[in-house]
Structure 1
Amino acid sequence: MDVPVRILDDGAWISVDDSRQVGVSDLWRLTDHEFCGCETADVLLEAFFEVRPNGERIEVRAVGHCITCGERGSMGWLTIGHVEDGAFVPSDPAADHRIRQPGK
């Protein structure tokens, strides 16, 4: 089953199956990343600029800043959820997330 994904409201929301599902107001915990020098980065997302389905996963690229060290920038692919039985299941932003670099 195809599930449409897109960016809404100038990068503030990710729509999955025509419903706003993930916004930029959450802190995402990054453990395997190249975003900043912190071993574990708590990143406040500021805007989404790319979204894609990748198998059952929904992935985004976003810009944000680490609340620990203050580093700002863009990141590789972050999994924000997955599709299970045709329904979107969001990831927990507080869980440890691995960032995959663009092109991977």
Structure 2
Amino acid sequence: ENMSFSDETFDSVFSSCVFCTIPNPKKGINEVYRVLKKGGKAVFIEHMKSKNFIINIGLRVLNIFTKLILGTSLLRETEKTIREAGFSKVTSKNIMLSDVVRLIIAEK
């Protein structure tokens, strides 16, 4: 959420299952955007809330335990947050559990 790097430091940034746990995912994604050079790419592998209502029922039940034990949320809308951060191009691919686990590539 508060990286000590200068603006536009990196050509690429990679994260895996980070934005389900940090307290303020919007702030964290904005930091990724800030440290990424213009034209740079951010690659995210994240689990998040599904677009499927039935799957979300299961995620809501599991979330009770994951929040308590692991401090992680299964119901965040990480792809939406990435898109709102200002990236010029965002592509998303469902990689596991229907659309719960996604590979997202975002370009600044």
TM-score (norm 2): 0.22
Greater fraction strand = 1
Name the one with the larger helix percent: 2
- Greater RCO, CA 8 A, separation 6+: 2
